[in-house]
Structure 1
Amino acid sequence: MPTMVLTGEYLSLAGNVLNDCTRKAELAVEVEEKDVTHYAANGWKILIGGLKSGTLGLEFLQDFAATKLDSIMWPLLGTVVTFEVRPTQSAVSASNPKYTGSVLIKEWQPISGSVGDEASVGVSYPTSGEVTRATS
C-alpha cells in the first residue's frame, strides 16, 4: 500500500517560490452538481457535472524582512496570479505531479495571533480559470 508523509511541498505564487515560509498548502477542486432529473427517472435523481472551481488554502510563517513574505504578498492583494504546487520539491514526474493555475489574492492578514504565538498567516484563495495537472 503506497503511503506518503508530506515533508517538503513545493509552492510558487506569482513566480515566487515560498517553500521556506509555507507550513501548509492545500489545493481542492470541485464540480457543481446539476440536477437534470425527469419523470422517466422513476424517482431517481440524475446528476451531471457543471462548472469547476477550486481553492488554494495556505498557511505561512510570517516574515517582515525586506524581500520576504509580507513584502511579496502585500502588492499582490486584489490581483490574479499564477500558482504551482507539488507534493515534494523534487522534479515533476509521474509520482510528483504539479498542479498549476491562477488564483485571486483576495485577502492578506499581515498581523495575526495571540501572545506567545508564532507569527503565522492562514489564507484561502479561489482559483480563476483552469487548474491543470502535469507529470512532465
Structure 2
Amino acid sequence: MSKAILTNVRCFAVGVDLTSQSNKIELSSEVEDKDATNYGSGGWKEVLGGLGSAELSGEGQWEAGDTTKVDDASWSQLGGVGPWSVSANNGAAVGDLAYFMGALRSDYTLFDAVGEIAPWSGTAKSASPLVRGQFAHPPGTARTATGTGTGLNLGAVIAGKRLHAALHVLSASGTTPSITARVESAPDNTFAAPTTRLTFAAATAPGGQLLRTAGTAITDTWWRIAWTISGTTPSFLFVSSLGIQ
C-alpha cells in the first residue's frame, strides 16, 4: 500500500460495526523495555524486550437505541473481553489488510458542551496478541446457506506460532437461525481435502469470538473460513479475520 488519506477505516467491535459512528481510530502496540544493564555493559544501558501490549482507541458520533449503535454496544461490552478487527483504510474485502486482537473494553466517555454534536470515545486494551492478518469474509455479504469462503495464502505456521481467527456476527435474522463457522487449511488453493483447524461456537445472535491454534507447526499454506447455517429463512452478516502470530 502507498501513502493514503484516511477515509475508510473499518472497525468491528465484537458484534457491532462502528464504521459509520466513528471518525477517529488509533491503534498502538509496544513491548516493555527491561533494564539489563550490568558492570560488563561498557557504560551503555542494555535492555531486553518484556511483555507486549496493544491498545485501540476510538471516537465519533454518539447514537443509541438498538444493538447496532455505539452506546448500546459500549454499555454491553464495558468490562468484557471480545474480538476487535480494524481495516487498514480499506473496505474489509477478502484479502484486505486487517489488524485484530482480543481486547478488554476498559472505558467509555460520552457527551460534551451544549450545541456540540454528541460525541463518544472509548478504549480497548489487548487481552491477546495483536495480529496483522487479512479479512477472510467481508461485512456486506449476507449468507443464507452453508458454504465456504475464498482461500487466503497466509503461509505455513511454524512451531511456536499460532493461526489466530476472529469472528464478528453483525446480524442474524429468521426463525431459530444458527451459524457455526470454522477455519480450514489446505496445502494448495484447490482445498481438495481441507482440514478443520478451529471451530467457533454456534452463534444465534450478534456477537464475537476469537480462537487460535495450539502452537504446533502446520505445513498447510492456504486458509479459509467456512460455515454451516441452519434455521428457517436464516440470514447472517458476519466478518472474519485470519492471521499468523
Q: One fold, TM greater than 0.5?
A: yes
**Aligned-pair distance for 1:15?**
2.7
Contact 1:31 / 1:53 at 8 angstroms: preserved in 2? yes
Aligned residues: 133
Which consecutive unaligned segments of at least 5 residues does structure 1 have?
none
| Whole-angstrom distance in 1 between the partners of 2:92 and 2:12 | 14
- Which amino acid in 1 is paired with 2:91? Q
Match of 1:106, SS state, is strand
| Whole-angstrom distance in 2 between the partners of 1:43 and 1:71 | 55
Structure ID, larger Rg: 2
**Aligned-pair distance for 1:114?**
0.3
Contact 2:87 / 2:97 at 8 angstroms: preserved in 1? yes
Q: Provide the alpha-carbon RMSD of the alignment.
A: 1.7
| Whole-angstrom distance in 2 between the partners of 1:132 and 1:69 | 24
* 2:207 alignment counterpart: none
More strand by share: 2
Contact 1:92 / 1:98 at 8 angstroms: preserved in 2? no
**Aligned-pair distance for 1:46?**
1.0
Using structure 1 for the length normalisation, give the TM-score.
0.88
Q: Kindly indicate whether structure 1 or structure 2 has the higher relative contact order, using CA contacts under 8 Å at least 6 residues apart.
A: 1
Question: Which range moved further: 84-93 or 116-125?
Answer: 84-93
- Which amino acid in 2 is paired with 1:76? Q
Instruction: Identify if the C-alpha distance between structure 1 residues 90 and 77 changes in structure 2 by more than 3 Å, giving closer, same or farther.
Output: closer
- Which amino acid in 2 is paired with 1:66? D
Contact 2:92 / 2:98 at 8 angstroms: preserved in 1? no
More helix by share: 1
Question: Which range moved further: 125-134 or 27-36?
Answer: 125-134
* 1:113 alignment counterpart: 112
* 2:99 alignment counterpart: 99
Match of 1:70, SS state, is helix
Using structure 2 for the length normalisation, give the TM-score.
0.51
Q: Sequence identity of aligned pairs in percent?
A: 30
* 1:78 alignment counterpart: 79
The Cα offsets for residues 55-74 of structure 1, whole Å up to 9 and x where unpaired, read as 10100210023332212221
**Aligned-pair distance for 1:82?**
0.6
- Which amino acid in 2 is paired with 1:14? V
Matches within 5 A, 1:13-92: 13-67=13-67, 68-87=69-88, 88-91=90-93
| Whole-angstrom distance in 2 between the partners of 1:92 and 1:48 | 37
